[in-house]
Amino acid sequence: MKRIAILISNVGKGSNLQAIVDAVNSKKINAKIVAVISDTNDAIGLKHAINNKIPIKICANKKDLPQVLKRLKPDYIALAGWKQIILDEVIEFYPNQILNLHPGLIPNSVKSKVLAPDGTNTLWNKGLLAEKAVQNFLDKKSTYAGSSIHLLTKEFDFGPVLERAFEKIKKNDTVKTLYARLKNKEHEIYIKALQKLTNAISQDAAVLIIDGGGRAHALVNKYLQSKHVKRVIAIPGNDLMTLSKNVKTYPQIKTTDIKQIVNICKKENVDLVDVAQDDAIAAGLVDTLVKSGLKVFGPTKAAGRVEWDKAWARNFMKKFKIPHPAFKICKSQKEGVEFINSQREGTWYIKAAGLAAGKGALLASSNSEAQDAIKQMKKFGNAGRIFLIEKCINGEEFSSFAIVNGKKFAIIGHAQDHKTVFDGNVGPNTGGMGCSSPPMVITAKIGEQIKSIFQKTVGGLVKVGRPYLGMLYLGGIIDKSGKVFVIEFNARWGDPEAQVILPSVKNDLFELVTQTILGKIPKITKDNSYRVVVTAASRGYPINHSKVIGKEIIGLSSLLGHPERSEGSLKIFGAGVKVKNGKYLAAGGRLFYVLGEGKNVELARRVAYNTLSQVSIDGDNLHFRKDIGLQDLQRLLSPK
């Protein structure tokens, strides 16, 4: 159980102290108050300490505080009306452990601003205390007042913000009326912040996931397994996830509809938003949500540029010596064609620089095919206006994922995606036809190279002023000599990689993510199973699957079982499936994913393919690859 020391003085009435004591007594906060420390004997708050039999320490001189604290060994120090300066040595000794309440809206970075729920700028009130700060909201004619709970740093009235409260200012408000209402909210956010830090987020957190397909479903399942999470909301989500208890979706809302999403966060009282979808990141959803005071897991638009601008990303890799294929950035068809004409015959990738739903990279096995591919870039519209010509590296592809807190990271897993629609890696690229994990090709030596790439990338992003918070996806290739090159970075989980990696993670995902947001990187623990996930698609995908839309998927309902079945055992992830009058209908290209788990690839494949053999659509209209995990199966059966 965490230990909290509360610091008070004769300023104020001790109402924050009382709120914390009440929350500990009612077990809302899972912690022990080891002492109330006051700098005088006449602090009103001391009576709350006496009434609740909490030890009292009087520390008249701020220089004595370090010694007093050392004996108490607190995990967190809550400032609740303490009027003296906290010495730097205390801040250094308790990094990210001292909580302060500031009557203003502290931004996340010195240059940014916090937006009020109505979109107006709010006031930081740096250097203003209590009534003076509240007066400032009135003087400046703000529409909202507000307060922040932040962790103390050496920078005055600044530091990581744990919680913010907003209070709408009424027409006839005085300092007294406004402050009375704001104080109630301050108590609430103080408790909320301590709950989060002491891991007693009770059992009722609401998580919003911004995404819709199988990846979103894997995230929904994982969050629902958390002891802290009561409800999960997904935008847009999909029908199959709503078969689980406590899941709500907003199918009509786009992941880029920032205004609506902010409204839903407020309406649903969301505790955490996990932005898992590329368009949303590129649109700057994370930036706005953070400014609105929400707790968000996902990179800002600036950091997400590693994905949404592949030309920028290649220059970034070059700058930080991150191994990558030779590339040429082209701004026109003419430039591309001239470049190819100047090159020896070769195999190339022609890639749209912008986001193209995972389909923007075209393989060209000769210079003349490259010229055709260059001409196709215009079909990607704005995303293909700038494109790259890259030398194709022969080798084995993989995807690796790291959870990143801005400065540090932990690798959470590796997988192998199968991008093309047909067996043997032929046919057009898709969003992903299946994954296997953990890939046997990732040896310790390869793992070291991957780690070094993440190190250079996370460090490089800090150096270019774009610190990255969220899941970072490294799409890599291992050439014949065993060297790893970056094919691309993505600013999110992979789909369907999330479906094979998330179930292998033993950590509580809500804890993992909230700790990461707070600047920590918890140790990741994994199970030992091998997993294969196979994508079930409509025949014709990704070119034209329209004839399958609306047809019933036979066998799916009995596989899914009763809607009340526990989230933990659900092994099917939905995407383009509509549930109508109890029937499961094809509603997209990628329909659903079947996960097989086992102690090795052979067993995992057997489970996945046995399951799939029980499903069909009108004859032969269900398509899936039969070779997911086959490479590892061959390695298993005939090791070198």
CB of 358 or CB of 555, closer to ligand GLY: 358
- Minimum CB distance to ligand GLY smaller for 473 or for 584: 473
If residue 474 lies in a helix (H) or strand (E), which one and from where to where? strand 468-479
Give Cβ neighbours of residue 230 (< 8 Å, ≥ 6 apart).
Answer: 203, 204, 205, 206, 246
Closest separation in Å from C-beta 388 to ligand GLY: 17
Indicate the residue among 396 and 511 with the shorter CB distance to ligand GLY: 396
Which of 287, 495 has the CB closer to ligand GLY?
495
Q: Up-side HSE of residue 120: CA atoms within 13 Å toward CB? A: 15
Rounded distance between C-alpha atoms, residue 571 and residue 438, angstroms: 18
Say how far apart CA 115 and CA 118 lie, in whole Å. 8
Shortest distance, position 309 Cβ to ligand GLY, whole Å = 16
Q: What are phi and psi of 358, to 5 degrees?
A: 75, 5
Interface residues toward ligand GLY, by CB under 6 A = 358, 417, 432, 490, 494-495, 497
Task: For the CB of residue 160, give the shortest distance to ligand GLY in the complex, in Å.
Answer: 30
Torsion of CA 128, 178, 186, 469, to 10 degrees: -70
Closest separation in Å from C-beta 495 to ligand GLY: 4
* Cβ 542 to ligand GLY shortest distance, Å: 13
Give the residue with the Cβ less far from ligand GLY, 307 or 597: 307
Smallest distance from ligand GLY to CB 357, Å: 9
Diameter over CA atoms, the chain? 87
CB of 446 to ligand GLY, least distance (A): 19
Residue 56, strand partner residues: 36
Which C-beta is closer to ligand GLY: that of 4 or that of 532? 532
Closest residue by Cα to residue 597 from 437, 467, 482:
437
Helix, strand or coil for residue 586? Answer: strand
Q: At what angle do helices 175-197 and 15-25 cross, to 10 degrees?
A: 40
Q: How far apart are CA 341 and CA 405, in angstroms?
A: 44
Q: Say which DSSP state 523 is in.
A: P
Distance CA 472, CA 493 (A): 7
Cβ distance to ligand GLY smaller for residue 432 or 439? 432
Q: Which residue in the shown chain puts its C-beta closest to ligand GLY?
A: 494
- Give dist(CA 327, CA 147) in Å, integer: 49
Q: Judged by CB, which is closer to ligand GLY: 196, or 590?
A: 590
Residue closer to ligand GLY, measured from CB, 82 or 398:
398
Rounded least distance, CB 492 to ligand GLY, Å: 8
State the nearest-atom distance from the C-beta of 437 to ligand GLY, in Å: 12
Give the shortest CB-520-to-ligand GLY separation in angstroms.
Answer: 27
- CB-nearer residue toward ligand GLY: 263 or 420: 420
Residue 186 or 497: which CB sits closer to ligand GLY? Answer: 497
Helix, strand, coil percentages (3-state) for the chain, rounded to 5, are: 35, 25, 40
> HSE (CB half, 13 Å, CA atoms) of 476?
29
> Three-state secondary structure along 298-337?
CCCCCCCHHHHCHHHHHHHHHHCCCCCCCEEEECCHHHHH
**Alpha carbon 354 to its chain's center:** 21
Min CB(386)–ligand GLY separation in Å: 20
Phi and psi angles of residue 66, each rounded to the nearest 5 degrees, phi first: -55, -40
Report, in Å, the least distance between residue 536 CB and ligand GLY: 16
Nearer to ligand GLY, 102 or 215 (CB): 215
216 contacts: CB under 8 Å, gap ≥ 6: 209, 234, 237, 238, 241, 276, 277
Q: Check: CB of residue 474 under 8 Å from CB of residue 491.
A: no
Of 443, 433, 452, nearest to 478 by C-alpha is 443
Amino acid at 177: T
